[in-house]
Amino acid sequence: MASNSFKEPPSTTKVYFETMIARQLYIDNSKKPKIAIIATLFSGLFLLFLTSFDLEKTVLVMMVILSFSFSIFSFINRDKNIPFAVNFNHPLMSDEPMGEAQVFVWLSADNEWVLLQDSRVRLIENTLLGGFDLVYDDEEYSRIGHFSLNHKITTKIRRSMLLLNQAIVLANLSNQEDAEELSVAEDSERRIREKQDSDLLQRSWLEEEQEIEIEGPLAKFLSKE
């Protein structure tokens, strides 16, 4: 099991739904459904107004409208409890990260947060405790922890895993890009230092050569005196 575990996520993190990208997606996705709900509500009321009052028909129409509205709102808010968080350097939080991007996952069965490595993850069934374990998708299926006590993989769990792996991939790409930029910067600094050292050595050598050339005639002059 991973050693980087916490009872609370670090203060420099945000859960997925509070990230910049997720909030923007929520705003964009909530506009049209809300309009659809309002339009459906007015259509139902208009239909009832045109027909003679019938209690059963009215109840049926209202149930359809409420069911439709509930489904829409459930769809809009489906990402509110996605169980992972990212730090401020993650691409979900910033377009220009200034350090290492990190991803933390919430293990509800273990009641703790865990800092993930750079490998993708998957679920495997825990036959002893029930539910599912979260493991790294490597050759050994290295165990991270007890992810959920659910006995089946629900739509919410499946979407959580999809978004979690996307966050891991984005973190890896961001960290690799930062590492490459750092390598280029270090290589550039190394070349500058080498050039400065070379210029300094060459200048020192020329000064010594000039001293030798001056010292020769001066020594002859002094010897004559």
pLDDT per position as a tens digit, 115-161: 999 899 999 999 999 999 999 999 899 999 999 999 999 999 999 99
* Mean pLDDT of the 194-209 span: 58
- List the domain range (segments joined by +) for residue 86: 5-175
Instruction: Give the confidence band of 101 by pLDDT, cuts at 50, 70, 90.
Output: very high
User: Which pair of structure tokens corresponds to residue 155?
Assistant: 């739509």
Q: How far is CA 29 from the centre of its chain?
A: 20
Nearest 5°: phi and psi at 108?
-65, -35
Q: Is the Cβ–Cβ distance between 91 and 170 less than 8 Å?
A: yes
More confident of the two residues 205 and 90: 90
Does residue 201 lie in a domain region? Answer: no
Does residue 108 lie in a domain region? Answer: yes
Does residue 220 lie in a domain region? Answer: no
- What is the distance between the alpha carbons of residues 157 and 154, in angstroms, rounded to a whole number? 5
Residue 74 has pLDDT above 80, yes or no: no
Instruction: Give the confidence band of 57 by pLDDT, cuts at 50, 70, 90.
Output: low
- Residues in a beta bridge with 145: 134
- What is the distance between the alpha carbons of residues 146 and 112, in angstroms, rounded to a whole number? 10
Identify the CA nearest to 86 among candidates 171, 175, 147.
Answer: 171
**DSSP three-state, residue 97:** coil
Does residue 81 lie in a domain region? Answer: yes
Does residue 214 lie in a domain region? Answer: no
Report the percentage of the chain scoring pLDDT > 70. Answer: 57
Does residue 46 lie in a domain region? Answer: yes
Does residue 80 lie in a domain region? Answer: yes
- Split into its structural domains, the chain has a count of 1
Does residue 222 lie in a domain region? Answer: no
